Amino acid sequence: MITDSILVILQKIIDISLVWIIIYFILKNIKNNVKMILLFKGVLVIIIIKLLSDALNLTTIGLFLEYVIMWGPLALIIIFQPEIRNILEHIGRKQLLGRHKVLTLDEREKLVYEVMSAVDYLRKSRIGALIVIERDISLNEYIERSKPIYGDISSELLISIFFPRNPLHDGGAIIQGNKITSAGAVFPISINSKINKKLGTRHRAAIGISEESDAIAIVVSEETGKISIAIGGNLNYNLSLDDARMILVEELKPKKEILLDDEFEDDKEGDDNEND
């Protein structure tokens, strides 16, 4: 009997835990999706009105809301099919190991140096640019629809991509690890109503891709030469070159420093020399 009771309790704990895990992942993946947030708020308002109508015995509105609740899920699936698909793809694109984590310290420093050198030239020349650096969430969906490059990261290559007469100038360049994987990428435009109306397509695309992934999106304004960085749906606007560099350095740091074999060997040799 005691064993049965323990099993029943464990089953209930597992059952409740799984429900909360599902709710957590749903909320985590819709928090930056403006349409899904509005949908969530709308559903919440309908439920509150239905509870009030039942409590106040409002028959007509209660009956109407019953039909809404009955057929609403089907209508929502049809209307918001693209958003639901994006969320499922967003979950499916998760990677256990982000590409930026495999970079050594020297490779990360080179990445920051080359990107910021290109950004400095582009801002001074008033050449518009959108550079997106992939992190934990794969950007293969956008890479497949853009022009493959797969070249070593260099400021010269980035500058040539965004040169005004280059056919790839209007799209975005995607960086994976220490490679420029593709150019001419088209990203989703953010529909967040709080975004300043003066911001152009590049800035909205930068915010859009940062809403759908954990990528770092760097923008150089063609009109003003101002530097902006979008992360997690937030736009850091009109940054100085040093501020942009510091943000990039900080965001590219691995979540947990890994001691590489070469560094370990160097440390070991240093210790042996000291002992000698």
Please tell me the distance from the alpha carbon of residue 267 to that of residue 35, in angstroms, as a whole number: 52
CATH number for the domain running over 99-251: 3.40.1700.10
Secondary structure (3-state) at 218: strand
Summarize pLDDT for 117-135 with one digit per residue, the tens.
999 999 999 999 999 999 8
Contact yes or no for 142/186 (Cβ under 8 A): yes
The phi, psi pair for 196, rounded to 5°, reads: -55, 130
Residue in 205, 216, 213 with CA at minimum distance from that of residue 246? 216
Summarize pLDDT for 212-268 with one digit per residue, the tens.
888 999 999 999 999 999 998 899 999 999 999 999 999 988 765 444 444 444 454
DSSP single-letter state for residue 102: G
pLDDT: which is higher, 1 or 208: 208
Residue in 176, 232, 185 with CA at minimum distance from that of residue 208? 232
pLDDT for res 99 = 46
Q: Provide the percentage of residues in the chain whose pLDDT is more than 70.
A: 77
pTM of whole model > 0.75? no
Give the residues across from 176 on adjacent strands.
179
Contact yes or no for 92/178 (Cβ under 8 A): no
Whole-Å CA distances, 176 to 56, 118, 136, 167: 58, 17, 10, 22
Contact yes or no for 242/116 (Cβ under 8 A): no
Structure tokens at 44: 């919440």
Using pLDDT thresholds of 50, 70 and 90, give the confidence band for residue 104: confident
Q: Provide the percentage of residues in the chain whose pLDDT is more than 90.
A: 37
Residue in 148, 119, 68 with CA at minimum distance from that of residue 225? 119
Q: Where are the domains of the chain?
A: 2-92, 99-251
